[in-house]
Amino acid sequence: MAKLLETDDKSIEDAADILRAGGLVAFPTETVYGLGADATNSAALARLYEAKGRPDFNPLIVHAPTIEALRDEVILTPSAERLAHAFWPGPLTLVLQRSESCRFSPLVSAGLPTAAVRAPAGSVAARLLRAAGRPIAAPSANRSGRLSPTTAQHVLGDLGETIDAVIDGGPCALGLESSIVDVSTDRPTLLRPGGVPPEELEAVLGAPLARPEPEGESGSAPRSAPGLLQSHYAPRAAVRLNAKSSVNGEALLGFGPVPGASLNLSPSGDPAEAAANLFSMLHELDALGVSDIAVSPIPEQGLGIAINDRLRRAAAPRPA
Ligand code: TXA
Ligand code: MG
């Protein structure tokens, strides 16, 4: 069973020791809980893929405390420098070419010439990364295809038997994963909408973001994030979107002042509040044993873009 750690200095040191020894430690970031492993240790990464039940073509995000810690690992393009300057530490992941001197295990990139990197804003994450003193790969700390965890209890429920420790830093402030932008070329591409709204990324870049080409059309390496399988972020219950009201005993997950909601992402219609509640309320409905969830419409702008992306994947047909 995973050891549950607090956030005092001694516990952070213990967690860093476990990571340096090749262990798996889940920790809070401002977005969701990540499952950390030493990004330079292939054996540790193999264990990480196994714990998540993740297909090995799906690469990992490497976390570091600052951009300086990444200069020798990836080739920082001018767009990358601008976005990192504007949004790091924060909920933004940059996909870049691995440098000649890159110390990340090839398993991090799952065969691609690129690596995804980010400097998270959560203070527990920053302290852990400094204490570890090396780059840490961390996918969301859930079994592959399941809901992302926003509390230590979510992590324990999903992975408690298979990982070494969880740092309990309370609920994540943002509750939704980072935005992923491929800035490895001169055509910045939004691979996953997330915590930084696309409008804000485009304002800093001074140009519109490209969107990924549909699978299979580009011939070269996949331009969409390989992990973005259609069905993802799925609760156990079936999900129906843009519902005005619930029918046939569905639980209604509301947004805005809707009557009869079982739970409401944000009664006042605030997208930031809805983002913070999204995964935890889906977890809660699962825990209640609800079999069908109807979700109120959410405006497709700002953080609403990332919320709707996750909801569409939760509602997508599931693999048999
Ligand atoms: O907020 C987050 O980003 C959280 C926290 C823990 O930092 N992490 C997270 O990791 O969401 P994960 O593994 O659940 O999602 C990472 C995504 C996957 O869809 C993966 O395919 C994509 O990042 N990715 C990683 N490396 C990539 C690369 N070199 N090129 C394209 N996509 C990449
Ligand atoms: Mg994930």
Interval between CA 64 and ligand 2 midpoint (Å): 18
Q: Which helix (H) or strand (E) holds 61?
A: strand 61-63
Residue 227 has pLDDT above 70, yes or no: no
The model's confidence at residue 212, banded by pLDDT at 50, 70 and 90, is confident
> How many C-beta atoms lie closer than 10 Å to residue 185's C-beta?
15
pLDDT of residue 223: 47
Question: What is the secondary structure of 246-258 as a DSSP string?
Answer: --TTPEEEE-SS-
Ion ligand 2: residues, CB within 5 A, are: 140
Residue 230: per-residue pLDDT:
65
Q: Which atom of ligand 1 is nearest to the CA of 31?
A: 1
> What is the total residue count of the chain?
320
Higher-confidence residue of 220 and 64: namely: 64
- Ligand 1 contacts (CB < 6 A) are 29, 31-32, 34, 58-61, 91, 93, 95, 109, 112, 114-116, 120, 138-140, 177-178, 180, 191, 225-228
Poorest-confidence range of 7-11, 51-55, 139-143, 150-154?
51-55
Neighbours of 219 (CB within 10 A): 6
For tokens 């401002």, the residue is 30
Span of 41-55, 133-147, 155-169, 211-225 with lowest mean pLDDT:
211-225
Q: Which residues pair with 203 in a beta bridge?
A: none
Q: The tokens 């070419």 sit on which residue?
A: 97
pLDDT of residue 229: 57
Kindly report, residue by residue over 245-276, the tens digit of the pLDDT: 999 999 999 999 999 999 999 999 999 999 99
Q: How far is CA 267 from CA 71, 117, 246, 260, 290, in A?
A: 44, 35, 17, 12, 21
The letter for the amino acid at 44 is A
Q: Which of the ligands is closest to the CA of residue 177?
A: 1
Model confidence at 218: pLDDT above 60: no
| Six token digits for residue 170 | 């309370």
3-state secondary structure of 92: strand
Residue 179 near residue 31 (C-beta atoms within 8 A)? no
Could you tell me the distance, in angstroms and rounded to a whole number, from the CA of residue 30 to the centre of ligand 1?
15
Of ligand 1's atoms, which has the minimum distance to the CA of residue 176?
A: 1
Nearest protein Cα to ligand 1, atom 21? 227
Greater confidence (94 vs 215) lies with 94
Q: Does residue 117 surpass a pLDDT of 50?
A: yes
Name the closest-CA residue to atom 17, ligand 1. Answer: 227
Average confidence (pLDDT) over 5-26: 98
3-state class (DSSP) for residue 155? helix
Best mutation site among 32, 61, 159, 224 for ligand 1 pocket (most ligand atoms within 8 Å of CB): 61
Number of neighbours of residue 3 by Cβ within 10 angstroms:
15
pLDDT greater than 50 at residue 221? no
Mean pLDDT of the chain: 93
- pLDDT confidence of 316, banded at 50, 70, 90? confident
Whether the pLDDT of residue 11 is over 70: the answer is yes
CA of 58 to the centre of ligand 1 (A): 8
Nearest ligand to the CA atom of 233: 2
pLDDT, residue 224, reads 53
Which ligand 1 atom minimizes the distance to the CA of 138?
Answer: 6
The position carrying tokens 């969701």 is: 32
The model's confidence at residue 219, banded by pLDDT at 50, 70 and 90, is very low
pTM summary value: 0.93
**What is the C-alpha to C-alpha distance for residues 241 and 236, in angstroms, rounded to an integer?**
15
**CA-to-CA distance for 317 and 207, rounded, in angstroms?**
34
pLDDT for the residue 320:
65
**Given ligand 1 and candidates 62, 63, 93, 309, which is best to mutate, with the most ligand atoms within 8 Å of its CB?**
93
The Cα 176–Cα 164 span in angstroms is 24
Helix (H) or strand (E) holding 80: helix 78-87
- Torsion angle, alpha carbons of 245, 247, 251, 256, to 10: 0
